[in-house]
Amino acid sequence: MSQPKERRTRIPDHRHCIICGRPVPPKEELCSDECRNVYEGRLKRERRTRLLLLILYIALLGSLFFFFFLPR
């Protein structure tokens, strides 16, 4: 009536590569140089986008300031 319990094998401690999902050792985030290049490219694009948005935000606030607060 009762079924025998299956023996489970213990999975070694690991993480997964944040780019491709392959298992990597616990202290690492990326599995290969290819994934590292992809990750660095993404970080570079994010920084560039943030800088562009900051510049656009400052330009918008500056133009609004001149439009509303300078005497006519």
Domain ranges (residues) in the chain: 15-69
Give residue 4's pLDDT: 65
Task: Express each pLDDT in 42-60 by its tens digit.
Answer: 999 999 999 999 999 999 9
Percentage of the chain exceeding pLDDT 70: 90
Element (DSSP H or E) covering residue 63: helix 33-69
- pLDDT digit of tens for each residue in the chain (72 aa)? 566 667 778 878 889 999 999 999 999 999 999 999 999 999 999 999 999 999 999 999 999 998 888 766
Residue 52 to residues 45, 47, 55, 64, Cα–Cα distance (Å): 10, 9, 5, 18
Rounded to 5 degrees, φ, ψ at 55 are -65, -45
